[in-house]
Amino acid sequence: MGKEQELNADIAIIGAGGAGLPAAVTAAYGGASVIVFEKMAAIGGAANMAEGIFAVESNIQRRENVGLTKDQAFKLHMEYSHWRVNPSLVRVIIDRSAETIEWLMAQGAKICEPRALYPDSLRTWHTLEGYGKTITKALYEKAKEAGVQVLLKTPAKKLVLDEEGRISGVIAEDKNGNTIKANVKAVIISDGGFGNNMEMLQKYTNAGPDIIHYGGKGPNGDGIQMAWEIGAAAEGTDVLQRGMPMVRGEMGITRLNTLLSQPYLWVNQWGERFFDEGTYEFPFVGNAIAKQANQIMYIIFDDHTKKYMKEVGIDFGAGVYVPIATKLDNIDAELQRGIDKGEAYVAETIDQLASMIDINGEKLVATVEKYNGFCSKGHDDQFAKNPKFLHPVKTPEFYAIRACPTLVGTVGGIKINSKTEVLNKKDVAIPGLYASGNCAGGMYGDTYDAVTSGLTISFAVSSGRIGSENALRYIGK
């Protein structure tokens, strides 16, 4: 049996990622003693991998003459989400986004220019030099300097309430199986969502069994379950932050995955088109694949298009690191890699290709012929795809690559208000309990936002800070 250890502090924070680290620094700067519990051996969580952070009316945007206002961004987000969100929470996150960027830069994070994540989208996505590690590393250093105690490999397990229903502690377990009880006056849950928890994914969302989660190994729904156990209400549990489709077993921005996202011909397992492939917004791609049988798709192209990608360059980039017009000069080797994995296929005829991917040959031939007709006349009668992406599938050899839907993370779970206080089922705040980042709901309607790019990491950082500011007030600091 493991030992038991007691620790005392003002505030405990669960998770040292995109929301937990800013919460820790803010709390320590406000004069609180702080303990951070982190499940993994290293800090940062999914935040380490982020590429761009949302802000509106930032100084960087002002210097670049980006005229978008907070009011406009707020209205766009609310319309996009059909007001199925917490408007006061959305407003405060949008209003504070620019100041959050200034704060992050003051802590040492390197934040660059505002980019449009999707073609013709708003320039709200402020790129991060060297990914989100620029944020997490800087904040970790500041937290340590400010005396925050960060306990790695120490997952939080349970919240403790006093007799009056106020938060009074957290129980965690260290790497040797010893129990740690932290006696605290406030807790901020910031342990990410439940992307690794297949049981919760199946219960609350439309994620299929083949979904590829690449949001880090930590988030497992622990914080959400802990909060629900003590009476917190649920919000937004069904919203997924979906990413671009990927080859099974092929994580991240590889060339094979980049190939998949190109806007040529996509079909489902029935050999039918199911999407305007020229729509780059990941949430929409993810929604469309989720509706298909087996939740998989194939990209189909011919030798001519292969040459185009090699010599002219790709039409869709992958984040900032593989820009549009990148020439896939090693495309043959990449395709061979896919073939060796059993995820890519090459054939002399469409009929042969169809049999390799278990699609009815007549059906696929018919789909290709119809699609080629759209390419000839320069208009996609089916889904109105931008004509510049209409590449016919005519010249052997023909290629197919299978793709699975992906999950960046889940973005809901615990109901909070605009102070990030955790609410019970009567919408009354549980004294001393706050939730920030991916474990908290209220920001998204049914689909992760595709208009205000970079909002999840922005929400994580701002909601972490807001949580601590309110926790400091609550404990009288």
Ligand X SMILES: Cc1cc2nc3c(=O)[nH]c(=O)nc-3n(C[C@H](O)[C@H](O)[C@H](O)COP(=O)(O)OP(=O)(O)OC[C@H]3O[C@@H](n4cnc5c(N)ncnc54)[C@H](O)[C@@H]3O)c2cc1C
Which residues here bind ligand X, judged by CB under 6 A? 14-20, 37-40, 45-47, 49-53, 132, 155-156, 190-192, 214-216, 218-220, 222, 408-409, 437-438, 454-458, 460
- In the complex, least distance from residue 341 CB atom to ligand X, rounded to whole angstroms: 21
Who's near 203: CB < 8 A, 6+ residues apart? none
What gap in Å lies between CA 324 and CA 359, rounded to an integer?
31
Residue (49 or 335) nearer to ligand X, CB: 49
Residue (412 or 437) nearer to ligand X, CB: 437
What gap in Å lies between CA 113 and CA 125, rounded to an integer?
8
- Whether 472 contacts 32, CB under 8 Å: yes
What gap in Å lies between CA 131 and CA 121, rounded to an integer?
21
- In the complex, least distance from residue 1 CB atom to ligand X, rounded to whole angstroms: 21
Query: Please, is 127 exposed, middle or buried when counting C-beta atoms within 10 Å of its C-beta (0-12, 13-18, 19+)?
Result: buried
Neighbours of 34 (CB within 10 A): 27
User: Residue with the closest Cβ to ligand X?
Assistant: 17
What gap in Å lies between CA 125 and CA 163, rounded to an integer?
46
Residue (115 or 385) nearer to ligand X, CB: 115
What is the total residue count of the chain? Answer: 477
What gap in Å lies between CA 220 and CA 109, rounded to an integer?
27
- In the complex, least distance from residue 250 CB atom to ligand X, rounded to whole angstroms: 14
Q: Is 54 helix (H, G, I), strand (E, B) or coil?
A: strand
- In the complex, least distance from residue 312 CB atom to ligand X, rounded to whole angstroms: 27
Residue (122 or 353) nearer to ligand X, CB: 122
Neighbours of 105 (CB within 10 A): 18
Which tokens go with 136?
A: 């997490």
Residue (191 or 315) nearer to ligand X, CB: 191
List the alpha helices (DSSP H) in 320-360. 331-341, 350-356
